[in-house]
Amino acid sequence: MKQKELTSRLMHIVGEEGVILNPADQETYVNDWLGKAHGRTVAVVRPRNTTEVSAVMRLCHQSHTPVVPQGGNTGMSGGATPDLSGAQVVLSLNRMKRIHDVDPVNNTLTADAGVILAEIQQAARKVGRYFPLSLGAEGSCTIGGNLATNAGGTGVLRYGNTRDLTLGLEVVLPDGRVWNGLRALRKDNTGYDLKDLFIGSEGSLGIITGVVLKLFAAPAGRITAWVGVQNLANVVALLNRLQADCGPRLSAFEMMSAPSLSLVTTQLEAHVSPLKKIYPYYALIELADTRLAGLQDMLQTGLSAAIEEGLIDDCVVAMSEAQSVSMWKLREGISLAQVKAGKAVKHDIALPISGLASFVAEADQAVLTDFPGLPIINFGHIGDGNLHYNVLLPLDVAPEDYKEKTTGLNKRIHDLVAQFNGSISAEHGVGTLRRDELRRYKSTVEMDLMIAIKRALDPNQLMNPGKLL
Ligand code: FAD
Ligand code: MLT
Ligand code: ZN
């Protein structure tokens, strides 16, 4: 089908205002947030509902047009960016923004895939409930993108990742057929769990158009603390101690190294460390419960004991919500501070928590020896064993040097991750960033199974080609 015919038929389905053809207006859809992935598109298509998504997919199926699904375009693995051919359609969910139902008795929320994560949190709050998925991009990422990447964030320690928060899905298949699996059930053993196939599939199997999410009792408030620690082994020991003392009240446990904190305080205005002295590592700790009574004492008792045991050197407990917010701003500012400071070679790795300290000791030594002088920006969701073990290259690094160092660093770090039985993507997904490396670290059996699933659902290879597999 000729390009002109394709675009006019797309307009017929979604209306003229739903198709973006002007390259200047396509800019934000064909480049990623990190400024690393760039592409071109024949058209950005913005359907308003599942029926329109289905008609667009049927047309793309008939015309053999590849489709790149896109939510908020905040992904970190290049998965939402079209390639440079200009032949792919970007299908944006950003006009599918309806919350259909909030049921505080069943504790569920049903929404379109294009709803912004922060709006889902807000809708839950309105009925006295809580939706715990939380991440730095929550003001612009969509629930469909969260599902497609099985996003993690800072609430995983207590509530699990996006997969754990999902009860039902609606998906438009590559040929346009609609699978309505919008069931609000906590138990359903009627065969294969199809929703789990699509969660984390990064747009490679179909378009997620709707979702049923779990809601939880709303916490009455939170107590936040910022802690200075001498080494990573002590950070892990503190995590174990607080888990034992506080049980499920421990709702977040994040780590940042001294260079990560210093990057934030130097790159971003009005970001100040709560502690005067510099420590090699910091932990950001949060307790939350449906009753606040006793929570502060619980945290303070735990931290005092940890000081006596020599696990931590210093700490501050936030005395107001404003103080708590400014502690969280330090943690959430790292992504932006990195973009401002240089070109980060990013790693999003998962390790058994018991292996974290030894892994970092070996990785630090490897980077120091093989890539001397490059700052290591190590931070992450340590309560989930998820590190963002990044290495910063200068902003003006030459493209060939960037490529060579990235390849070398990835291999060095990821080989070590494999030795520790870890994963090369904990929460950001594979996209284009890790696609070639995936084959190195997955077994042949795993790759064969994944390829068989892809072929069964998308035999013409039209869904997000070049991503993940
Ligand atoms: P997009 O970027 O648009 O897409 C991501 C992938 O999903 C692509 O492969 C795309 O093709 C696919 N996709 C999108 N929508 C659909 C759909 N409806 N159907 C099928 N496929 C679809 N991630 C974490 O896990 N934890 C964090 O703590 C975290 N922090 C972040 C902080 C910042 C500042 C930023 C910029 C990003 C962060 N991320 C984090 C990355 C994260 O993956 C995303 O923010 C989010 O989950 C992606 O949602 P999105 O709507 O922007 O998806
Ligand atoms: C985070 O934990 O802040 C994110 O996953 C983003 C990042 O790695 O930059
Ligand atoms: Zn993260």
Answer yes or no: do 326 and 411 share one domain.
no
- The confidence score (pLDDT) of residue 334 equals 97
Domain with residue 324: its CATH number is 3.30.70.2190
CA of 74 to the centre of ligand 1 (A): 5
Structural domain boundaries, residue 182 = 99-217
- CA 313 to mean position of chain CA atoms: 31
Answer yes or no: do 207 and 229 share one domain.
no
- The confidence score (pLDDT) of residue 81 equals 98
**Nearest ligand 1 atom, CA 79:** 9
pLDDT tens per residue, range 117-152: 999 999 999 999 999 999 999 999 999 999 999 999
Q: In this structure, is the dihedral angle defined by the CA atoms of residues 180, 181, 183 and 188, taken in order, positive or negative?
A: positive
Q: What is the largest CA-CA distance in the chain?
A: 73
Show Cβ contacts of residue 143 under 8 Å, excluding neighbours closer than 6 positions: 71, 111, 113, 114, 115, 116, 117, 120, 211, 213
- The confidence score (pLDDT) of residue 56 equals 98
pLDDT tens per residue, range 78-106: 999 999 999 999 999 999 999 999 999 99
Closest residue by CA, ligand 1 atom 1: 73
Q: What's the burial of 3, exposed, middle or buried (CB within 10 Å: 0-12/13-18/19+)?
A: middle
* 271 in a structural domain: yes
- Is 53 a pocket residue for ligand 1 (Cβ < 6 Å)? no
**3-state SS string over 126-169?**
HCCEECCCCCCCCCCCEHHHHHHHCCCCCCHHHHCCHHHHEEEE
First to last CA, the chain: 27
- The confidence score (pLDDT) of residue 249 equals 97
Answer yes or no: do 122 and 210 share one domain.
yes
Residue type, 348: D
* 60 in a structural domain: no
Answer yes or no: do 246 and 181 share one domain.
no
- CA 73 to mean position of chain CA atoms: 11
Domain boundary among 196, 217, 238: 217
**Nearest ligand 2 atom, CA 254:** 2
- Is 347 a pocket residue for ligand 2 (Cβ < 6 Å)? no
**Nearest ligand 2 atom, CA 136:** 3
Closest residue by CA, ligand 2 atom 7: 335
pLDDT bucket at 258, cuts 50 / 70 / 90 = very high
Closest residue by CA, ligand 1 atom 46: 146
**Nearest ligand 1 atom, CA 144:** 18
pLDDT at position 307 over 90: yes
Domain with residue 156: its CATH number is 3.30.465.10
CA of 186 to the centre of ligand 2 (A): 30
Indicate the average pLDDT of the chain: 97
Domain boundary among 186, 217, 248: 217
Q: What's the burial of 119, exposed, middle or buried (CB within 10 Å: 0-12/13-18/19+)?
A: middle
Pairing of the two strands 178-181 and 216-217: unpaired
* 82 in a structural domain: no
**Nearest ligand 2 atom, CA 332:** 3
d(CA 74, CA 56): 23
- Is 332 a pocket residue for ligand 1 (Cβ < 6 Å)? no
What is the domain count for the chain?
3
pLDDT tens per residue, range 5-56: 999 999 999 999 999 999 999 999 999 999 999 999 999 999 999 999 999 9
Pairing of the two strands 250-257 and 43-45: unpaired
- Is 156 a pocket residue for ligand 1 (Cβ < 6 Å)? no
d(CA 386, CA 410): 16
Answer yes or no: do 187 and 111 share one domain.
yes
pLDDT bucket at 1, cuts 50 / 70 / 90 = confident
CA of 263 to the centre of ligand 2 (A): 14
Answer yes or no: do 315 and 269 share one domain.
yes
Answer yes or no: do 162 and 131 share one domain.
yes
Percent of the chain with pLDDT over 90: 100
pLDDT at position 401 over 90: yes
Closest to 14 (Cα-Cα) out of 49, 66, 41: 49
Answer yes or no: do 193 and 111 share one domain.
yes
Answer yes or no: do 349 and 330 share one domain.
no
